[in-house]
Amino acid sequence: MKVIKTIESFAKESRYNRVIEAAVRAGEESKVYIDDIDTDSGKTVKAVEIIGAIAAYPTEKEFKKYFYDQYGENAFGEGEIEVIIKYYNDVKAEEAEAEKEAEKEEGGEGEEGGEDDPLADL
């Protein structure tokens, strides 16, 4: 007989709890999930801090500088800062895509309205 677990029972197992609890969605409508990052120096960069920094800093350079200022340049091992920057780029790409879609919707409605308006040609 096969035992099939529900997602809830699977999530309750202790070895999987950390992964589920640590992942935070970058926004209400975002598809990007951000995890806590453990640095080589033993400190943990919380996911909510990463999300806050993404919102606060408009450029990748400023974003990266924030983490180096907070934790020190030697605190991050190979790949750790790249993971944080990947989160930044994923969220910014998602925001740009959403902005582009919003502009398309606004532009599409304006064109239709122009054709229906009898005074549009004047």
| Domain boundaries, given as residue ranges, for the chain | 24-92
- Run means of pLDDT, 10 residues per run, the chain, 122 residues: 64 50 72 88 89 92 93 85 93 92 76 59 68
Burial class (CB in 10 A: 0-12, 13-18, 19+), 35: middle
35 close to 44: Cβ distance less than 8 angstroms: no
pLDDT at 107: 77
Mention every residue, 6+ apart, whose C-beta is less than 8 A from residue 40.
74, 75, 76, 77, 80
pLDDT at 109: 55
- Structure tokens that stand for 45 in this block: 């960069």
Cβ-based neighbours of 53, under 8 Å, separated by 6 or more: 63, 66, 67, 88
- pLDDT for residue 74: 87
What is the per-residue pLDDT for 121? 66
For residue 24, report the phi and psi dihedrals to the nearest 5 degrees.
Answer: -125, 135
What phi and psi, each to the nearest 5 degrees, are found at residue 34? -115, 130
| DSSP at 102 | H
pTM: 0.67
Question: What pLDDT shows up at residue 63?
Answer: 93
